[in-house]
Amino acid sequence: MRILMIAPQPFFEPRGTPISVYQRLRALSALGYEVDLLTYHVGQDVSIPGVTIHRCLRVPLIKKVKLGPSWPKVVLDVLLFFHAMVLLRRNEYDVIHSHEEAAFFSVVLSQMFGTRHVYDMHSSLSQQLGSHPRWSLWPFVALFEVLERWVIRTCDAVITIGVDLEEQVMEINPEARTVLIQNLAVDIGDGGSSEVVAAGLREQMRLDGKLVVVYTGNFERYQGLGLLMESARIVKERCPELLLLMVGGTPEQVEEWEERARGSGLGDCVRFTGTVPLAEAMAYLNLAEILVSPRTEGMSVPLKIYSYLHSGKPIVATDMEAHSQVLSEEMAVLVAPTEEAFAEGILTLVKSPALRKRLGLRAEQFARERFNPTDYVARLDRIYQEPALAVSFAEERAPTALTGRVRLSAEAMAPSSLEVEG
């Protein structure tokens, strides 16, 4: 089976959806599918067997693409559409596998070329649009709602990453072929190498005697960083050894938040790393005594939560749907999205090393049982073996053969080694 995957993001970059796309590609590769990935001209090439990367026409003025909707993305998406037409005319594809807003024009391409269409739904795009002030005007949101419904009603299958999205799909189209495939933890290299890097960082940053709380992720508004900073100010008054490590953010965002931290009297207990390679980001999880996710908006599960769980470290997170779909009080401290409640959640763990250890162990055990490569690969293969999609396989495979194939494919996926070229 040959697949044209369209990903309207910089690929590869160490952030949410590109990481999810990377995981999809590795699983499809391990299953033996041939994939042509069409993506933006921005990003680093990665090496995955059976995957060929095609990039849209380079736009010299666009050297980076920020998170969320933007006019540069509109320009690049138009270029993706025309490049996809060229590829579809040149090659025979069994399936178009679209991510995010590429689904809107993939519906058209699917109908034009008689190709089946799988929509990989990472979020509700209309809700996402509504959370960005410049794009939350009613006409834009209404248009995205209409387009989203059109895609869900016409595509051949839908992949969702969370229960909330699965429910949304079923509400729009009860007959949709859908499968829930939750993301895997980002696992770069083996745990031993991450621990070595972490030990070096601890010495380099002089962290001995500090109680290290780590946040990883982007610095967009919905992440609740203002809430986190204010809660850190409260915690500091009762726990002077607190050190909050903020892993992520663009240079401009880091500069802004460093200024805000100094203005709040937190200059000595908050440090910013900026965006770091994935391997280093995982090392920061090893440094942590406590991991935090203060998100205040959105419904989709943050990708970092899966890595947080696998790290075996205790988590403090806001008690909202984006977290409670995966986390429970058995494995994390869930608190109201207020500064006082979040500070109290951190302090609860500060006071009890035994609770920190217990929650961390439960989280790691839950992650290993629930989010593993074997289940991930099996679910992805299931959607591609739907009768509407499995056009390239003349013979039906026996369940035992399928199980063996999935097991071997899962073994090929783990550990997740990211080979970046250039």
Round the average pLDDT of the chain to a whole number and report it. Answer: 88
- Ordered by where they begin, the domains of the chain are 2-184+372-414 (3.40.50.2000), 191-369 (3.40.50.2000)
Q: Tens digits of per-residue pLDDT, 39-58? A: 999 999 999 999 999 999 99
How much of the chain exceeds pLDDT 70, in percent? 89
Give the pLDDT mean for 368-378.
89
- The string of DSSP codes covering 6-28 is EE-S-SS-SSHHHHHHHHHHHHH
Residue range 387-399: mean pLDDT, rounded: 47
User: In this predicted structure, what is the pLDDT of residue 113?
Assistant: 96
Q: Where does 60-147 show beta strands of DSSP type E?
A: 95-99, 116-121
* Contacts of range 79-82, beta carbons closer than 8 Å, 24 or more positions apart: 80/6, 80/8, 80/38, 80/39, 80/40, 80/56, 80/105, 81/105, 81/109
Q: Give pTM, 2 decimals.
A: 0.82
Q: Indicate if the alpha-carbon torsion angle 138, 143, 149, 151 is positive or negative.
A: negative
pLDDT at 398: 42
Q: What pLDDT score was predicted for residue 405? A: 57
User: What is the pLDDT confidence band of residue 5, given thresholds at 50, 70 and 90?
Assistant: very high
Q: What is the pLDDT of residue 403?
A: 53
Whether residue 49 has a cis bond before it, omega within 30° of 0 = no
Whether pLDDT at 411 is above 80: no
| Distance, CA of 46 to CA of 28 (rounded, Å) | 15
For residue 317, what are the β-bridge partners? 293, 334
Confidence of residue 201 (pLDDT cuts 50, 70, 90): confident
Name the CA dihedral angle for 297, 298, 304, 310, rounded to a multiple of 10 degrees: 110
Region 116-122: mean pLDDT is 95
Q: Are 90 and 44 in contact (CB under 8 A)?
A: no
By C-alpha distance, which of 185, 389, 345 is closest to 278? 185
Residue 384 has pLDDT above 50, yes or no: yes
User: 183 vs 412, which has greater pLDDT?
Assistant: 183
**pLDDT score of 278:** 78
Of 328, 264, 327, 321, the C-alpha closest to 298 is 321
pLDDT at 187: 59
Q: Enter the DSSP assignment of 202.
A: H
Residues pairing with 38 in the sheet: 6, 54
